[in-house]
Amino acid sequence: MVDINKYLESQLALAKQRCETKNRKDDGVSEKSRSAAELIGKKQSKKLGKHSPDPVSKTNNRENTSASTDKDSDDEYLPSEEGGDDEIINSLPSSSHTKPNVKRIVDDGDINSYNERIEAWKKNLAAVKAGNYTGENMTADIKYMLEGNKEPEALHELQNGLCVPNYIWKQLYKFQRVGVKWLWELHQVDSGGLLGDEMGLGKTIQIIAFLAGLSKTDSGKWNGLGPSIIVAPATVIYQWVSHFHFWCPHLRVAVLHHTGSHVGNHNKLIRDLHASHGILLITYAGVVKYTKDLTERKWHYVILDEGHKIRNPDTQVSKLVKKFQTPHKILITGSPMQNSLQELWSLFDFMRPGLLGTYNAFMDHFATPITQGGYANATEYQEATALEIAKALKQLITPYMLRRTKAEVQEHINLPDKNEQVLFCAITQEQRDLYMGYLMSNTVRSILDKESRYGDPIRARILVALSTLRKICNHPDLYLYEAHEECEEIDADRFGNYRRSGKMLVVNSLLKIWHKQGHRALIFSQSRGMLCLLEQYLQMQGFKYLRMDGTVNVGQRQNMIKTFNENPEYTVFLATTRVGGLGVNLTGADRVIIYDPDWNPATDDQAKERAWRIGQMKNVTVYRLLSAGTIEEKIYQRQIFKHFLSNKILIDPNQKNVLTTSTLQGLFVLEEPNCDGDTETASLFKHTKINVDNNSKTNDKDVTASQKRIEAMKRMAKEISKKIAKDTSVSKEDETEKDPREEYKRKRELLLNPPKMEVPEINIVNDQVTNVGFDSVLSEIDIVNMHTKQDYEENLIRNVLNSQENVDGDEKSNCEENDLNHKSEGEISDSEEINKEEPKKEMKPERDKIDNKINIVKVTKKSRKRRHSRESEVTVENLVAIKKVKKKKSKKEKEQKNDDDYVLSKLFAKANVKNALQHDVVVGLAEKEKRYKIKEEAVKKAKDAVRAIRHSSK
């Protein structure tokens, strides 16, 4: 007899199977995509089983070994602590014609070549004096003399005796002189410090000027400058050599690396250099390799360039650099804190050990309370405590950290403008097919399956899967190549074709327009594989380019950079973000493309700053490319989130392995644009969106960036005001009957103390993913804006609140917008006057960002009256108005706006760009500080915390 239960169960199983097969067939994914996904899934499983179970630990291990062989292209897409910028020996050669035939920079490792250099320099000095200098091997002192100055040997003496050569001192910017003085002050109290000026402000020059000063100051234990070590990423090692040779030719500077000029035993070089009080340049990997020989000697100065490389206190290199026995440790970085306060602790533990107590004490008494106070759902007490502790921390570190931003020193350096935009590029049909195919593969299913047979943690699988998705976003062949390498012949004609990648289509349009406009570009990608495809594209299109990645010999990198900067025939410089994006000067380019985003925003920020720095003469435009709806959007949101929460939300070590399935599901989707045609991120940050009207091709010059920005700001203000309106139960009719003063008080109260919005707890997983719902970012920004009473957003909110009360319907408000946008110059200068009467210092930097376009003006009663009498249709009732300031723009500024607007309109029309956001505005909003009430208890807690860490370091 048939067991009915068993029969039913088997039928049920069959039905389920049929249903699954049917669903799979109906999902619109092609057979090719499905089989590629399965094949790749199998390969990845095999790889994961065979090697380390966790590719992140593999990535971190890279730092623990000396010379890395970074061959696995998967690694390039994974979050990483270390730049991995050392050269890759025996790897793929890049195509030969990209390598310029340039002379190498020779360091002073070989004593004979050092002596020859010194002799040549002295001859040149004599030749300048005699008037027959040929112009070869220019140095700063020669330049100084050629400018009509005499006695380059003369010294400028600082207080307490540091003697900096006059020819250097006079060529320093004012803020750089402050930097040198600060270094001298630290020196006198036997302390280390962190020079944290923004990228491109000349930290190298400040250090060299200071060391040159020490070398001319005959005092102290070493009778001037003692033997010193500078640790730097491989790519910038020779940049240091060339800067030293230019600014301070008398010092001996040797590179301890296999590309250096010394021959023989490394220990001999260390010994010789130590004896001659020279400067030893070495990579981070080199410190690990030669630790014993380096740390057994006493050094005068130990300087870490791009010192954020030791931000993880647990890595081997972080531990080793702390072994150097000298109080004079300087850390240089333009990104002192990238993710958390833990990083700050690690940096200070190197150059000022004990200042922040032990790690545990610091985490308990500083990091944790600040973290807690940073959560959006923190209590008032937690917020106040966080503020007080943050203040105490700032006070502790301020004497030992010097940081100036470009905005702060702009009046000295006069940098040209920078315009930075995020372009959301539509993926191609093929990419969509592959993306969906992979999302539906067993690999992704097993990750999302709560009861996965692979068990927990599944972090390694997640990271591999995410990097696979990123490959598809970059180009289908980066993904297909892996699947097809064994079983199919590659179609050489089709391979890497730019038309098969949405972002490459955009690159194609950008490069062609820029070529016509005479711009030169830097293109950064995370992966060497992608660089190969871009290189192939450049070759086919006939662009002259240079390419720099880990395969390029360290000794050649500086020359390659020099060639690009000096030879305008090269229109594109291709580089991996980790090799070409750190420390180098690429001011020959004025356009930058960040082809794919890094999990860590600081990596992308570093890359884009290669062009926008001292020495740049043209306006710079940066485009960050994101594949719309894909993992890349999530990465960008994560970047913004980090920017936003930088000082408040920190990594909680206990939550490192927390990855909720809901987070994962959010990552493994392909979002479709919403009904407005916006991508997810564009709708989150709507207010920063740049609208380019496709119909405006003929008159795109008329649609100025300033109008667009004003509209964007107004949209944002409206959105925020809607939120506020939702939270108040008072109807409009009721409002009009109320006493206007009461009404103003109520609104003000609402703005300053908005109703709490629930924001989920934040889990940050080791620089990779977070389970916070990103829609909460917007509400968080709103809260910040509402708290920030002196901010322009508040003014905007007020304006909109007021105008909404007084203007019925969109039509009328449109009239108002138009009206506000088309004020006459006379009225604008009125407003400016009023503005001058009530300067708001804190607003300045923010305002500067949007200054060319919008000015917010507090309108006094008197001026309001005047306005009413002149322009009766202006219905702004009280307090604020928005003005477009028709500030006279320089010709250059106008040209850039027109150029960029033109490029954008072309991209929207032709090249599959879905949305564009103004990156600065997104980050600017995100970086706004909350204002807290100071509470007595919080102050006490902060004092206790300081006492606790002092006690801990004893």
Ligand X SMILES: Nc1ncnc2c1ncn2[C@@H]1O[C@H](COP(=O)(O)OP(=O)(O)OP(=O)(O)O)[C@@H](O)[C@H]1O
Nearer to ligand X, 98 or 235 (CB): 235
892-931 footprint of ligand X as x/- string (CB under 6 A) = ----------------------------------------
Helix, strand, coil percentages (3-state) for the chain, rounded to 5, are 55, 10, 35
Q: Which residues contact 515 (CB under 8 A, 6 or more apart)?
A: 543, 571
β-strand partners of 625: 423
Residue at token pair 């080791």: 766
Nearer to ligand X, 615 or 673 (CB): 615
Rounded to the nearest whole angstrom, what is the least distance from the CB of residue 307 to ligand X in the complex? Answer: 10
Q: Does 561 bind ligand X (CB under 6 A)?
A: no
Pairing of strands 769-770, 764-765: antiparallel
Candidate residues 106, 162, 201, 876; the one interacting with ligand X per rule CB under 6 A: 201
d(CA 519, CA 910): 20
Residue at token pair 């503020």: 387
Nearer to ligand X, 270 or 582 (CB): 582
Residues 429-468 that bind ligand X (CB under 6 A): none
CB 389 within 8 A of CB 941: yes
CB 229 within 8 A of CB 218: no
Pairing of strands 193-195, 155-157: unpaired
584-603 footprint of ligand X as x/- string (CB under 6 A) = -x------------------
Q: Judged by CB under 6 A, how many residues of this single chain contact ligand X?
A: 19
DSSP state, residue 805: H
What angle is formed at CA 658 by the lines to CA 929 and CA 440, rounded to 5 degrees? Answer: 110
Q: Does 233 bind ligand X (CB under 6 A)?
A: no
Rounded to the nearest whole angstrom, what is the least distance from the CB of residue 213 to ligand X in the complex? Answer: 15
What angle is formed at CA 759 by the lines to CA 756 and CA 764, rounded to 5 degrees? Answer: 145
98-127 footprint of ligand X as x/- string (CB under 6 A) = ------------------------------
CB 202 within 8 A of CB 176: yes
d(CA 609, CA 198): 9
Nearer to ligand X, 613 or 787 (CB): 613
Residue 368 backbone dihedrals phi, psi, to 5 degrees = -65, -50
Nearer to ligand X, 173 or 222 (CB): 173
Nearer to ligand X, 335 or 855 (CB): 335
Residue 428 backbone dihedrals phi, psi, to 5 degrees = -80, 170
Rounded to the nearest whole angstrom, what is the least distance from the CB of residue 174 to ligand X in the complex? Answer: 10
Nearer to ligand X, 169 or 644 (CB): 169
145-184 footprint of ligand X as x/- string (CB under 6 A) = --------------------------xxx--x--------
Candidate residues 196, 202, 580, 629; the one interacting with ligand X per rule CB under 6 A: 202
Nearer to ligand X, 468 or 616 (CB): 616
Q: Does 204 bind ligand X (CB under 6 A)?
A: yes
Nearer to ligand X, 152 or 200 (CB): 200
Nearer to ligand X, 232 or 378 (CB): 232
CB 450 within 8 A of CB 652: no
Rounded to the nearest whole angstrom, what is the least distance from the CB of residue 387 to ligand X in the complex? Answer: 30
Q: Does 64 bind ligand X (CB under 6 A)?
A: no
Return the structure tokens found at 130.
């005699």
Nearer to ligand X, 611 or 626 (CB): 611
d(CA 824, CA 874): 13
Q: Does 200 bind ligand X (CB under 6 A)?
A: yes
Candidate residues 62, 99, 187, 203; the one interacting with ligand X per rule CB under 6 A: 203
Q: Does 580 bind ligand X (CB under 6 A)?
A: no
Rounded to the nearest whole angstrom, what is the least distance from the CB of residue 332 to ligand X in the complex? Answer: 7
Nearer to ligand X, 308 or 470 (CB): 308
Candidate residues 40, 106, 205, 552; the one interacting with ligand X per rule CB under 6 A: 205
Helix (H, G, I), strand (E, B) or coil at 420: strand
Rounded to the nearest whole angstrom, what is the least distance from the CB of residue 344 to ligand X in the complex? Answer: 17
Rounded to the nearest whole angstrom, what is the least distance from the CB of residue 244 to ligand X in the complex? Answer: 12
Rounded to the nearest whole angstrom, what is the least distance from the CB of residue 617 to ligand X in the complex? Answer: 12
Q: How many CA atoms lie within 13 A of 184 on its CB side?
A: 25
Nearer to ligand X, 430 or 609 (CB): 609
Nearer to ligand X, 208 or 850 (CB): 208
Rounded to the nearest whole angstrom, what is the least distance from the CB of residue 208 to ligand X in the complex? Answer: 9
Stretch of 200-208, 294-302, 743-751, 838-846 lying at the interface with ligand X (CB under 6 A): 200-208
Contacts by 867-870, CB closer than 8 A, 24 or more apart: 867/827, 870/827
Rounded to the nearest whole angstrom, what is the least distance from the CB of residue 404 to ligand X in the complex? Answer: 10
d(CA 195, CA 181): 12
d(CA 907, CA 581): 26
Rounded to the nearest whole angstrom, what is the least distance from the CB of residue 195 to ligand X in the complex? Answer: 8
Stretch of 11-19, 194-202, 258-266, 370-378 lying at the interface with ligand X (CB under 6 A): 194-202
d(CA 944, CA 954): 16
d(CA 472, CA 489): 20
By C-alpha distance, which of 515, 503, 520 is closest to 620? 520
CB 243 within 8 A of CB 305: no
3-state secondary structure string across 832-864:
HHHHHHCCCHHHHHHHHHHHCCCEEEECCHHHH
Describe the strand order of the beta sheet including 329-332 as a list of residue ranges.
253-256, 279-282, 228-231, 301-304, 329-332, 193-195, 401-402
Q: Which residues contact 18 (CB under 8 A, 6 or more apart)?
A: none
By C-alpha distance, which of 186, 185, 173 is closest to 408? 173
Q: Does 199 bind ligand X (CB under 6 A)?
A: yes
Rounded to the nearest whole angstrom, what is the least distance from the CB of residue 185 to ligand X in the complex? Answer: 20
Rounded to the nearest whole angstrom, what is the least distance from the CB of residue 548 to ligand X in the complex? Answer: 15
d(CA 328, CA 11): 78
Stretch of 195-203, 271-279, 490-498, 869-877 lying at the interface with ligand X (CB under 6 A): 195-203
Q: Please state, as a whole number, how many other Cβ atoms lie within 10 Å of the Cβ of residue 885.
A: 20
Candidate residues 197, 383, 791, 901; the one interacting with ligand X per rule CB under 6 A: 197
What angle is formed at CA 716 by the lines to CA 710 and CA 717, rounded to 5 degrees? Answer: 90
Rounded to the nearest whole angstrom, what is the least distance from the CB of residue 169 to ligand X in the complex? Answer: 10
Residues 598-637 that bind ligand X (CB under 6 A): 609, 613-615
Residues 317-336 that bind ligand X (CB under 6 A): 334
Rounded to the nearest whole angstrom, what is the least distance from the CB of residue 644 to ligand X in the complex? Answer: 23
Residues 720-759 that bind ligand X (CB under 6 A): none
Residue at token pair 């973290």: 371
Candidate residues 193, 213, 550, 583; the one interacting with ligand X per rule CB under 6 A: 583
Nearer to ligand X, 356 or 614 (CB): 614
Rounded to the nearest whole angstrom, what is the least distance from the CB of residue 243 to ligand X in the complex? Answer: 7
Nearer to ligand X, 199 or 280 (CB): 199
Return the structure tokens found at 39.
């094949």
Residue, CB closest to ligand X:
202
CB 700 within 8 A of CB 900: no
Stretch of 142-150, 202-210, 681-689, 806-814 lying at the interface with ligand X (CB under 6 A): 202-210
d(CA 344, CA 340): 7
d(CA 73, CA 93): 15
Rounded to the nearest whole angstrom, what is the least distance from the CB of residue 308 to ligand X in the complex? Answer: 10
Binding site for ligand X (CB under 6 A): 171-173, 176, 197, 199-205, 334, 583, 585, 609, 613-615
